[in-house]
Structure 1
Protein backbone atom coordinates (compact mmCIF):
# COMPACT_ATOMS: atom_id res chain seq x y z
CA UNK A 1 0.00 0.00 0.00
CA UNK A 2 1.27 3.47 -0.91
CA UNK A 3 0.18 6.25 1.47
CA UNK A 4 0.73 9.98 0.97
CA UNK A 5 -0.05 13.18 2.80
CA UNK A 6 -2.07 15.77 0.90
CA UNK A 7 -2.36 19.57 0.79
CA UNK A 8 -5.56 20.16 -1.22
CA UNK A 9 -8.84 18.30 -1.55
CA UNK A 10 -8.72 18.91 -5.31
CA UNK A 11 -5.56 16.78 -5.58
CA UNK A 12 -7.28 13.49 -4.70
CA UNK A 13 -7.89 12.47 -8.32
CA UNK A 14 -4.35 13.31 -9.46
CA UNK A 15 -2.80 11.38 -6.59
CA UNK A 16 -5.01 8.39 -7.34
CA UNK A 17 -4.06 8.58 -11.03
CA UNK A 18 -0.40 8.39 -10.03
CA UNK A 19 -0.68 5.23 -7.99
CA UNK A 20 -1.66 6.32 -4.47
CA UNK A 21 -3.69 3.84 -2.42
CA UNK A 22 -4.36 5.90 0.73
CA UNK A 23 -4.44 9.50 1.93
CA UNK A 24 -3.31 10.81 5.33
CA UNK A 25 -4.93 14.01 6.62
CA UNK A 26 -4.91 16.03 9.84
CA UNK A 27 -7.73 17.23 12.07
CA UNK A 28 -7.91 20.09 14.62
CA UNK A 29 -6.25 19.66 18.04
CA UNK A 30 -5.07 16.05 17.62
CA UNK A 31 -2.72 16.10 14.61
CA UNK A 32 0.95 17.06 14.58
CA UNK A 33 3.36 17.55 11.66
CA UNK A 34 0.43 17.41 9.24
CA UNK A 35 0.09 18.99 5.78
CA UNK A 36 -3.63 19.80 5.84
CA UNK A 37 -6.11 20.28 8.67
CA UNK A 38 -9.65 19.12 7.90
CA UNK A 39 -12.53 20.05 10.19
CA UNK A 40 -14.60 17.18 11.57
CA UNK A 41 -17.66 18.44 9.71
CA UNK A 42 -15.76 18.05 6.40
CA UNK A 43 -14.67 14.46 7.06
CA UNK A 44 -17.83 13.04 5.35
CA UNK A 45 -16.91 14.91 2.14
CA UNK A 46 -13.41 13.42 2.19
CA UNK A 47 -14.78 9.97 3.01
CA UNK A 48 -17.23 10.11 0.11
CA UNK A 49 -14.61 11.22 -2.41
CA UNK A 50 -12.05 8.68 -1.23
CA UNK A 51 -14.64 5.91 -1.48
CA UNK A 52 -15.48 6.91 -5.07
CA UNK A 53 -11.79 6.85 -5.96
CA UNK A 54 -11.14 3.62 -4.06
CA UNK A 55 -8.73 5.42 -1.72
CA UNK A 56 -8.29 4.61 1.95
CA UNK A 57 -8.59 7.57 4.33
CA UNK A 58 -6.32 7.72 7.39
CA UNK A 59 -6.21 10.38 10.11
CA UNK A 60 -3.09 11.80 11.74
CA UNK A 61 -3.90 11.43 15.48
CA UNK A 62 -0.32 11.65 16.74
CA UNK A 63 -0.76 14.15 19.55
CA UNK A 64 -0.13 12.98 23.11
CA UNK A 65 -3.21 13.86 25.16
CA UNK A 66 -3.39 15.32 28.66
CA UNK A 67 -5.92 14.01 31.16
CA UNK A 68 -8.22 17.02 30.70
CA UNK A 69 -8.43 16.19 26.96
CA UNK A 70 -9.46 12.54 27.30
CA UNK A 71 -13.22 13.04 27.08
CA UNK A 72 -12.96 15.24 23.99
CA UNK A 73 -10.45 12.81 22.50
CA UNK A 74 -12.93 9.94 22.95
CA UNK A 75 -15.70 11.98 21.31
CA UNK A 76 -13.42 12.81 18.37
CA UNK A 77 -12.47 9.15 17.88
CA UNK A 78 -16.15 8.22 17.91
CA UNK A 79 -16.90 10.80 15.19
CA UNK A 80 -14.10 9.36 13.05
CA UNK A 81 -15.48 5.86 13.59
CA UNK A 82 -18.98 7.01 12.61
CA UNK A 83 -17.56 8.45 9.39
CA UNK A 84 -15.89 5.14 8.53
CA UNK A 85 -12.33 6.41 8.26
CA UNK A 86 -9.98 3.51 7.57
CA UNK A 87 -7.80 4.17 10.58
CA UNK A 88 -5.67 6.56 12.61
CA UNK A 89 -1.95 7.04 13.07
CA UNK A 90 -1.18 7.28 16.78
CA UNK A 91 1.74 7.66 19.17
CA UNK A 92 -0.13 7.81 22.48
CA UNK A 93 -1.02 4.43 24.01
CA UNK A 94 -4.04 6.05 25.66
CA UNK A 95 -5.39 6.99 22.22
CA UNK A 96 -4.80 3.40 21.06
CA UNK A 97 -6.67 2.03 24.09
CA UNK A 98 -9.74 4.18 23.41
CA UNK A 99 -9.67 3.64 19.64
CA UNK A 100 -9.41 -0.13 20.01
CA UNK A 101 -12.46 -0.16 22.31
CA UNK A 102 -14.66 1.21 19.50
CA UNK A 103 -13.09 -0.88 16.75
CA UNK A 104 -11.07 1.89 15.07
CA UNK A 105 -8.04 0.60 13.17
CA UNK A 106 -4.68 1.99 14.37
CA UNK A 107 -1.18 2.38 12.91
CA UNK A 108 1.55 2.98 15.48
CA UNK A 109 3.97 5.75 14.43
CA UNK A 110 6.43 6.57 17.23
CA UNK A 111 9.10 7.81 14.76
CA UNK A 112 12.15 6.14 16.41
CA UNK A 113 11.07 3.24 18.63
CA UNK A 114 10.32 0.38 16.20
CA UNK A 115 13.69 -1.18 15.38
CA UNK A 116 13.15 -4.95 15.27
CA UNK A 117 10.71 -7.68 14.25
CA UNK A 118 10.06 -8.29 17.96
CA UNK A 119 8.89 -4.68 18.32
CA UNK A 120 6.57 -5.07 15.33
CA UNK A 121 5.14 -8.37 16.55
CA UNK A 122 4.47 -6.94 20.00
CA UNK A 123 2.28 -4.12 18.69
CA UNK A 124 0.58 -6.31 16.10
CA UNK A 125 -0.25 -8.86 18.79
CA UNK A 126 -1.84 -6.08 20.84
CA UNK A 127 -4.17 -5.12 18.00
CA UNK A 128 -2.36 -2.53 15.85
CA UNK A 129 -3.06 -2.75 12.10
CA UNK A 130 0.57 -1.93 11.35
CA UNK A 131 3.54 0.03 12.68
CA UNK A 132 5.90 2.62 11.23
CA UNK A 133 9.55 1.60 11.27
CA UNK A 134 12.23 3.89 12.73
CA UNK A 135 13.66 6.11 9.99
CA UNK A 136 17.26 5.71 11.13
CA UNK A 137 17.54 2.01 10.24
CA UNK A 138 19.89 0.97 7.45
CA UNK A 139 18.79 -0.93 4.36
CA UNK A 140 20.48 -4.09 5.66
CA UNK A 141 18.61 -3.81 8.95
CA UNK A 142 15.29 -3.32 7.15
CA UNK A 143 16.00 -6.44 5.07
CA UNK A 144 16.74 -8.50 8.19
CA UNK A 145 13.49 -7.35 9.83
CA UNK A 146 11.45 -8.10 6.69
CA UNK A 147 12.72 -11.70 6.64
CA UNK A 148 10.77 -12.27 9.88
CA UNK A 149 7.89 -9.77 9.67
CA UNK A 150 6.92 -7.60 6.68
CA UNK A 151 3.77 -5.96 8.06
CA UNK A 152 5.29 -2.53 8.67
CA UNK A 153 5.49 0.89 7.08
CA UNK A 154 8.56 2.83 5.94
CA UNK A 155 9.03 6.40 4.77
CA UNK A 156 10.02 6.42 1.10
CA UNK A 157 10.34 10.17 0.56
CA UNK A 158 10.09 13.33 2.60
CA UNK A 159 11.42 15.02 5.71
CA UNK A 160 11.10 13.14 8.98
CA UNK A 161 10.93 14.35 12.57
CA UNK A 162 14.06 14.06 14.74
CA UNK A 163 12.72 16.03 17.74
CA UNK A 164 9.33 16.93 19.15
CA UNK A 165 8.78 19.07 22.24
CA UNK A 166 5.47 20.24 23.65
CA UNK A 167 7.20 23.48 24.62
CA UNK A 168 6.96 26.56 22.33
CA UNK A 169 10.73 26.61 21.82
CA UNK A 170 10.75 29.10 18.95
CA UNK A 171 8.55 31.56 20.83
CA UNK A 172 10.72 31.22 23.94
CA UNK A 173 13.88 31.78 21.87
CA UNK A 174 12.60 34.95 20.22
CA UNK A 175 11.18 36.23 23.48
CA UNK A 176 14.57 35.77 25.18
CA UNK A 177 16.27 37.78 22.44
CA UNK A 178 13.46 40.34 22.39
CA UNK A 179 12.83 39.65 18.70
CA UNK A 180 9.60 39.26 16.76
CA UNK A 181 8.63 35.76 15.65
CA UNK A 182 7.05 36.49 12.27
CA UNK A 183 7.12 33.05 10.60
CA UNK A 184 5.78 29.62 11.45
CA UNK A 185 8.92 27.77 10.36
CA UNK A 186 12.66 28.52 10.35
CA UNK A 187 15.89 26.59 9.80
CA UNK A 188 18.34 25.52 12.47
CA UNK A 189 22.06 24.81 12.16
CA UNK A 190 23.69 22.84 14.96
CA UNK A 191 27.28 23.55 15.93
CA UNK A 192 28.37 20.04 14.92
CA UNK A 193 26.41 19.87 11.64
CA UNK A 194 26.58 21.54 8.24
CA UNK A 195 22.99 21.10 7.06
CA UNK A 196 20.01 23.30 7.82
CA UNK A 197 17.24 21.52 9.71
CA UNK A 198 13.68 22.83 9.33
CA UNK A 199 12.07 23.78 12.64
CA UNK A 200 8.45 24.80 13.11
CA UNK A 201 6.07 25.55 15.95
CA UNK A 202 2.29 25.24 16.30
CA UNK A 203 -0.25 24.98 19.11
CA UNK A 204 0.99 21.50 20.02
CA UNK A 205 4.69 22.32 20.34
CA UNK A 206 7.93 22.48 18.36
CA UNK A 207 9.29 20.09 15.72
CA UNK A 208 12.76 19.71 14.25
CA UNK A 209 13.17 17.75 11.02
CA UNK A 210 15.95 16.01 9.10
CA UNK A 211 18.46 18.18 7.23
CA UNK A 212 17.15 17.04 3.87
CA UNK A 213 14.29 14.87 2.63
CA UNK A 214 14.75 11.14 2.39
CA UNK A 215 14.50 9.46 -1.01
CA UNK A 216 14.60 5.78 -1.94
CA UNK A 217 14.93 5.70 -5.74
CA UNK A 218 17.97 3.42 -5.79
CA UNK A 219 16.56 1.15 -3.06
CA UNK A 220 12.93 0.96 -4.17
CA UNK A 221 13.20 -2.21 -6.26
CA UNK A 222 14.92 -4.08 -3.46
CA UNK A 223 12.36 -2.79 -0.94
CA UNK A 224 9.52 -4.04 -3.14
CA UNK A 225 11.07 -7.50 -3.23
CA UNK A 226 10.82 -7.61 0.57
CA UNK A 227 7.00 -7.44 0.26
CA UNK A 228 6.76 -4.69 2.86
CA UNK A 229 3.08 -3.96 3.39
CA UNK A 230 3.11 -0.14 3.49
CA UNK A 231 5.11 2.76 2.03
CA UNK A 232 4.58 6.43 2.89
CA UNK A 233 5.46 9.72 1.19
CA UNK A 234 5.37 12.79 3.45
CA UNK A 235 5.09 16.12 1.64
CA UNK A 236 5.49 18.47 4.59
CA UNK A 237 7.33 21.65 3.42
CA UNK A 238 6.31 20.79 -0.16
CA UNK A 239 3.00 20.51 -2.07
CA UNK A 240 0.93 17.99 -4.01
CA UNK A 241 2.77 18.78 -7.23
CA UNK A 242 5.99 17.67 -5.53
CA UNK A 243 4.29 14.43 -4.43
CA UNK A 244 3.15 13.69 -7.97
CA UNK A 245 6.68 14.26 -9.30
CA UNK A 246 8.02 11.89 -6.63
CA UNK A 247 5.44 9.23 -7.55
CA UNK A 248 6.36 9.52 -11.21
CA UNK A 249 10.03 9.26 -10.31
CA UNK A 250 9.49 5.90 -8.63
CA UNK A 251 7.34 4.65 -11.51
CA UNK A 252 10.04 5.56 -14.05
CA UNK A 253 12.93 4.59 -11.75
CA UNK A 254 14.45 8.05 -12.16
CA UNK A 255 15.81 10.39 -9.51
CA UNK A 256 13.89 13.47 -10.63
CA UNK A 257 13.28 15.01 -7.21
CA UNK A 258 16.21 15.92 -4.89
CA UNK A 259 16.74 14.07 -1.64
CA UNK A 260 19.22 11.82 0.14
CA UNK A 261 19.43 8.06 0.65
CA UNK A 262 22.44 8.21 3.00
CA UNK A 263 20.37 6.94 5.96
CA UNK A 264 20.14 3.55 4.27
CA UNK A 265 23.92 3.12 4.47
CA UNK A 266 24.93 4.56 7.82
CA UNK A 267 25.61 2.62 10.99
CA UNK A 268 22.73 2.90 13.43
CA UNK A 269 24.56 0.96 16.16
CA UNK A 270 27.71 2.45 17.62
CA UNK A 271 30.04 -0.21 19.04
CA UNK A 272 32.11 0.60 22.09
CA UNK A 273 35.83 0.60 21.30
CA UNK A 274 38.06 -1.47 23.55
CA UNK A 275 40.71 0.43 25.47
CA UNK A 276 44.10 -1.01 24.58
Structure 2
Protein backbone atom coordinates (compact mmCIF):
# COMPACT_ATOMS: atom_id res chain seq x y z
CA UNK A 1 0.00 0.00 0.00
CA UNK A 2 1.41 3.47 -0.90
CA UNK A 3 2.69 5.58 1.97
CA UNK A 4 -0.03 7.80 3.44
CA UNK A 5 0.46 11.54 3.05
CA UNK A 6 0.19 14.09 5.80
CA UNK A 7 -3.32 15.45 6.26
CA UNK A 8 -3.36 19.14 5.30
CA UNK A 9 -5.80 22.00 5.06
CA UNK A 10 -6.93 20.59 1.74
CA UNK A 11 -8.92 18.04 3.72
CA UNK A 12 -11.46 20.83 4.22
CA UNK A 13 -12.12 20.62 0.46
CA UNK A 14 -13.11 16.93 0.03
CA UNK A 15 -13.72 17.07 -3.72
CA UNK A 16 -10.34 18.68 -4.43
CA UNK A 17 -8.63 16.31 -1.98
CA UNK A 18 -10.11 13.28 -3.73
CA UNK A 19 -8.97 14.51 -7.16
CA UNK A 20 -5.49 15.27 -5.84
CA UNK A 21 -5.15 11.80 -4.34
CA UNK A 22 -6.06 10.20 -7.66
CA UNK A 23 -3.39 12.23 -9.46
CA UNK A 24 -0.72 11.45 -6.88
CA UNK A 25 -1.50 7.74 -6.84
CA UNK A 26 -1.26 7.45 -10.62
CA UNK A 27 1.97 9.47 -10.66
CA UNK A 28 3.43 7.22 -7.98
CA UNK A 29 2.46 4.03 -9.79
CA UNK A 30 3.38 5.35 -13.23
CA UNK A 31 1.36 5.08 -16.40
CA UNK A 32 -1.10 7.23 -18.33
CA UNK A 33 -4.85 7.63 -17.94
CA UNK A 34 -5.22 5.33 -20.93
CA UNK A 35 -3.10 2.67 -19.21
CA UNK A 36 -5.33 2.77 -16.12
CA UNK A 37 -8.49 2.80 -18.24
CA UNK A 38 -7.35 -0.23 -20.25
CA UNK A 39 -6.39 -2.09 -17.08
CA UNK A 40 -9.75 -1.45 -15.37
CA UNK A 41 -12.01 -1.51 -18.42
CA UNK A 42 -13.32 2.03 -17.89
CA UNK A 43 -13.34 5.12 -20.11
CA UNK A 44 -10.17 7.25 -19.97
CA UNK A 45 -12.15 10.51 -20.25
CA UNK A 46 -14.10 9.60 -17.12
CA UNK A 47 -10.85 9.04 -15.21
CA UNK A 48 -9.54 12.36 -16.52
CA UNK A 49 -12.62 14.20 -15.25
CA UNK A 50 -12.16 12.58 -11.83
CA UNK A 51 -8.51 13.63 -11.62
CA UNK A 52 -9.41 17.22 -12.57
CA UNK A 53 -12.21 17.38 -10.02
CA UNK A 54 -14.99 17.76 -12.60
CA UNK A 55 -16.51 14.38 -11.78
CA UNK A 56 -16.59 12.11 -8.76
CA UNK A 57 -17.26 8.93 -10.72
CA UNK A 58 -19.29 6.01 -9.44
CA UNK A 59 -18.67 3.94 -6.29
CA UNK A 60 -18.00 0.90 -8.50
CA UNK A 61 -15.22 2.73 -10.34
CA UNK A 62 -13.74 4.05 -7.09
CA UNK A 63 -13.69 0.53 -5.65
CA UNK A 64 -11.86 -0.65 -8.77
CA UNK A 65 -9.31 2.16 -8.34
CA UNK A 66 -8.91 1.23 -4.67
CA UNK A 67 -7.94 -2.28 -5.71
CA UNK A 68 -5.72 -1.06 -8.56
CA UNK A 69 -3.71 1.25 -6.31
CA UNK A 70 -3.85 -1.01 -3.25
CA UNK A 71 -5.32 1.71 -1.02
CA UNK A 72 -7.54 -0.64 1.02
CA UNK A 73 -10.70 1.46 0.96
CA UNK A 74 -9.05 4.86 1.42
CA UNK A 75 -10.22 6.15 -1.97
CA UNK A 76 -13.78 5.04 -1.32
CA UNK A 77 -13.71 6.85 2.02
CA UNK A 78 -12.47 10.04 0.33
CA UNK A 79 -15.15 9.64 -2.36
CA UNK A 80 -17.87 9.38 0.29
CA UNK A 81 -16.59 12.58 1.91
CA UNK A 82 -16.53 14.36 -1.46
CA UNK A 83 -20.06 13.24 -2.36
CA UNK A 84 -21.29 14.44 1.01
CA UNK A 85 -19.39 17.73 0.96
CA UNK A 86 -21.87 20.31 2.31
CA UNK A 87 -20.00 23.19 0.68
CA UNK A 88 -20.91 21.94 -2.76
CA UNK A 89 -24.59 21.01 -3.04
CA UNK A 90 -27.50 20.05 -0.83
CA UNK A 91 -28.26 16.42 -0.07
CA UNK A 92 -31.02 16.08 -2.66
CA UNK A 93 -28.64 16.96 -5.51
CA UNK A 94 -25.66 14.79 -4.67
CA UNK A 95 -26.37 11.65 -6.66
CA UNK A 96 -27.83 13.70 -9.50
CA UNK A 97 -24.62 15.71 -9.72
CA UNK A 98 -22.55 12.55 -10.11
CA UNK A 99 -24.83 11.27 -12.88
CA UNK A 100 -24.87 14.64 -14.64
CA UNK A 101 -21.12 14.51 -15.20
CA UNK A 102 -21.33 10.95 -16.53
CA UNK A 103 -24.22 11.46 -18.97
CA UNK A 104 -23.51 11.66 -22.71
CA UNK A 105 -26.81 13.41 -23.43
CA UNK A 106 -28.95 15.78 -21.31
CA UNK A 107 -32.51 16.86 -22.10
CA UNK A 108 -34.04 19.53 -19.87
CA UNK A 109 -37.32 21.38 -19.44
CA UNK A 110 -37.30 24.48 -17.26
CA UNK A 111 -40.70 25.62 -16.02
CA UNK A 112 -39.62 28.59 -13.89
CA UNK A 113 -35.84 29.17 -13.84
CA UNK A 114 -32.78 28.84 -16.07
CA UNK A 115 -30.96 25.56 -15.50
CA UNK A 116 -27.70 25.70 -13.56
CA UNK A 117 -25.64 24.69 -16.62
CA UNK A 118 -26.92 27.80 -18.41
CA UNK A 119 -26.82 30.32 -15.56
CA UNK A 120 -24.66 33.44 -15.66
CA UNK A 121 -22.85 34.50 -12.49
CA UNK A 122 -25.37 37.23 -11.69
CA UNK A 123 -28.36 34.95 -12.20
CA UNK A 124 -26.87 32.25 -9.98
CA UNK A 125 -26.07 34.78 -7.25
CA UNK A 126 -29.58 36.23 -7.07
CA UNK A 127 -31.23 32.81 -7.18
CA UNK A 128 -29.00 31.35 -4.47
CA UNK A 129 -29.39 34.43 -2.30
CA UNK A 130 -33.15 33.80 -2.27
CA UNK A 131 -32.36 30.54 -0.46
CA UNK A 132 -30.79 32.47 2.41
CA UNK A 133 -27.10 32.20 1.52
CA UNK A 134 -24.98 35.30 2.05
CA UNK A 135 -21.41 36.45 2.43
CA UNK A 136 -18.70 33.83 2.02
CA UNK A 137 -21.25 31.01 1.91
CA UNK A 138 -23.01 32.67 -1.02
CA UNK A 139 -19.70 33.21 -2.83
CA UNK A 140 -18.87 29.50 -2.45
CA UNK A 141 -22.29 28.42 -3.69
CA UNK A 142 -22.09 30.71 -6.71
CA UNK A 143 -18.62 29.40 -7.57
CA UNK A 144 -19.83 25.81 -7.29
CA UNK A 145 -22.95 26.51 -9.37
CA UNK A 146 -21.25 28.40 -12.18
CA UNK A 147 -18.35 25.95 -12.22
CA UNK A 148 -20.78 23.40 -13.62
CA UNK A 149 -20.89 25.33 -16.92
CA UNK A 150 -17.51 23.83 -17.80
CA UNK A 151 -19.28 20.52 -18.42
CA UNK A 152 -20.72 21.93 -21.67
CA UNK A 153 -17.40 23.40 -22.82
CA UNK A 154 -15.21 20.31 -22.70
CA UNK A 155 -13.94 18.49 -25.76
CA UNK A 156 -16.17 15.51 -24.98
CA UNK A 157 -19.09 17.64 -23.74
CA UNK A 158 -22.52 15.99 -23.66
CA UNK A 159 -25.31 16.93 -26.03
CA UNK A 160 -27.61 19.30 -24.14
CA UNK A 161 -31.16 20.24 -25.19
CA UNK A 162 -32.97 22.80 -23.04
CA UNK A 163 -36.61 23.80 -23.46
CA UNK A 164 -37.44 26.97 -21.51
CA UNK A 165 -41.02 27.89 -20.66
CA UNK A 166 -41.81 31.47 -21.65
CA UNK A 167 -42.23 32.29 -17.96
CA UNK A 168 -38.49 31.67 -17.47
CA UNK A 169 -37.70 34.51 -19.89
CA UNK A 170 -40.34 36.83 -18.48
CA UNK A 171 -39.09 36.62 -14.89
CA UNK A 172 -36.19 39.09 -14.81
CA UNK A 173 -33.57 39.66 -12.16
CA UNK A 174 -33.71 42.73 -9.94
CA UNK A 175 -30.44 43.86 -11.53
CA UNK A 176 -31.23 44.78 -15.15
CA UNK A 177 -27.56 44.52 -16.11
CA UNK A 178 -27.27 41.00 -14.71
CA UNK A 179 -30.50 40.01 -16.48
CA UNK A 180 -29.13 41.33 -19.76
CA UNK A 181 -25.98 39.25 -19.25
CA UNK A 182 -28.09 36.15 -18.65
CA UNK A 183 -30.08 36.59 -21.86
CA UNK A 184 -26.89 37.29 -23.81
CA UNK A 185 -25.34 34.15 -22.31
CA UNK A 186 -28.31 32.07 -23.50
CA UNK A 187 -27.89 33.45 -27.02
CA UNK A 188 -24.17 32.66 -26.98
CA UNK A 189 -24.54 29.13 -25.64
CA UNK A 190 -27.32 28.37 -28.13
CA UNK A 191 -24.73 28.68 -30.90
CA UNK A 192 -22.51 25.95 -29.49
CA UNK A 193 -22.65 22.75 -31.59
CA UNK A 194 -23.63 20.54 -28.65
CA UNK A 195 -26.37 22.82 -27.27
CA UNK A 196 -29.94 23.38 -28.47
CA UNK A 197 -32.23 25.89 -26.77
CA UNK A 198 -35.96 26.12 -27.48
CA UNK A 199 -38.69 28.27 -25.99
CA UNK A 200 -42.13 26.94 -25.07
CA UNK A 201 -44.57 29.86 -25.60
CA UNK A 202 -47.26 30.52 -23.03
CA UNK A 203 -50.02 30.10 -25.60
CA UNK A 204 -48.95 26.50 -26.23
CA UNK A 205 -51.37 25.62 -23.44
CA UNK A 206 -51.32 22.82 -20.90
CA UNK A 207 -48.99 19.83 -21.19
CA UNK A 208 -47.81 16.85 -19.15
CA UNK A 209 -44.82 18.60 -17.54
CA UNK A 210 -46.55 21.82 -16.58
CA UNK A 211 -45.55 21.82 -12.90
CA UNK A 212 -41.98 20.48 -12.67
CA UNK A 213 -38.47 21.07 -13.95
CA UNK A 214 -37.28 17.87 -15.62
CA UNK A 215 -33.85 16.62 -16.66
CA UNK A 216 -33.29 13.41 -18.63
CA UNK A 217 -29.80 11.96 -18.25
CA UNK A 218 -28.85 9.44 -20.92
CA UNK A 219 -26.00 7.35 -19.52
CA UNK A 220 -23.41 5.07 -21.09
CA UNK A 221 -24.92 1.67 -21.72
CA UNK A 222 -28.26 3.07 -22.86
CA UNK A 223 -29.85 3.66 -19.43
CA UNK A 224 -31.85 6.84 -18.90
CA UNK A 225 -32.76 8.36 -15.54
CA UNK A 226 -34.88 11.41 -14.85
CA UNK A 227 -34.49 14.12 -12.24
CA UNK A 228 -37.72 15.90 -11.27
CA UNK A 229 -37.56 19.07 -9.21
CA UNK A 230 -40.07 21.46 -7.68
CA UNK A 231 -39.80 24.20 -5.07
CA UNK A 232 -39.69 21.70 -2.19
CA UNK A 233 -37.54 18.80 -3.30
CA UNK A 234 -35.87 16.84 -6.07
CA UNK A 235 -36.50 13.22 -7.02
CA UNK A 236 -34.41 10.83 -9.11
CA UNK A 237 -36.64 8.52 -11.18
CA UNK A 238 -35.06 5.29 -12.43
CA UNK A 239 -37.98 2.88 -12.82
CA UNK A 240 -38.25 2.08 -16.56
CA UNK A 241 -42.01 2.55 -17.00
CA UNK A 242 -41.95 5.88 -15.18
CA UNK A 243 -39.01 7.09 -17.25
CA UNK A 244 -40.77 6.13 -20.48
CA UNK A 245 -43.97 7.88 -19.42
CA UNK A 246 -42.05 11.06 -18.64
CA UNK A 247 -40.16 10.77 -21.92
CA UNK A 248 -43.43 10.67 -23.86
CA UNK A 249 -44.63 13.75 -21.99
CA UNK A 250 -41.36 15.53 -22.81
CA UNK A 251 -41.61 14.67 -26.50
CA UNK A 252 -45.19 15.94 -26.65
CA UNK A 253 -44.21 19.17 -24.87
CA UNK A 254 -41.19 19.70 -27.12
CA UNK A 255 -43.42 19.41 -30.20
CA UNK A 256 -45.25 22.52 -28.92
CA UNK A 257 -42.04 24.56 -28.54
CA UNK A 258 -40.62 27.05 -31.02
CA UNK A 259 -37.83 25.71 -33.21
CA UNK A 260 -34.26 26.83 -32.36
CA UNK A 261 -34.27 29.71 -34.87
CA UNK A 262 -37.61 31.06 -33.67
CA UNK A 263 -36.47 30.60 -30.08
CA UNK A 264 -33.38 32.72 -30.71
CA UNK A 265 -35.57 35.51 -32.10
CA UNK A 266 -37.81 35.23 -29.03
CA UNK A 267 -34.83 35.64 -26.66
CA UNK A 268 -33.61 38.60 -28.73
CA UNK A 269 -37.02 40.27 -28.28
CA UNK A 270 -36.76 39.71 -24.53
CA UNK A 271 -33.30 41.25 -24.59
CA UNK A 272 -34.59 44.34 -26.40
CA UNK A 273 -37.11 44.86 -23.59
CA UNK A 274 -34.44 45.02 -20.87
CA UNK A 275 -33.99 48.65 -19.73
CA UNK A 276 -30.65 50.17 -20.57
CA UNK A 277 -28.53 50.93 -17.53
CA UNK A 278 -28.37 54.67 -16.78
CA UNK A 279 -25.11 56.33 -17.71
CA UNK A 280 -22.87 57.44 -14.83
Name the TM-score, length of structure 1 as normaliser.
0.29
Structure with more of its chain in helix, by fraction? 2
Name the TM-score, length of structure 2 as normaliser.
0.28
Structure with more of its chain in strand, by fraction? 1
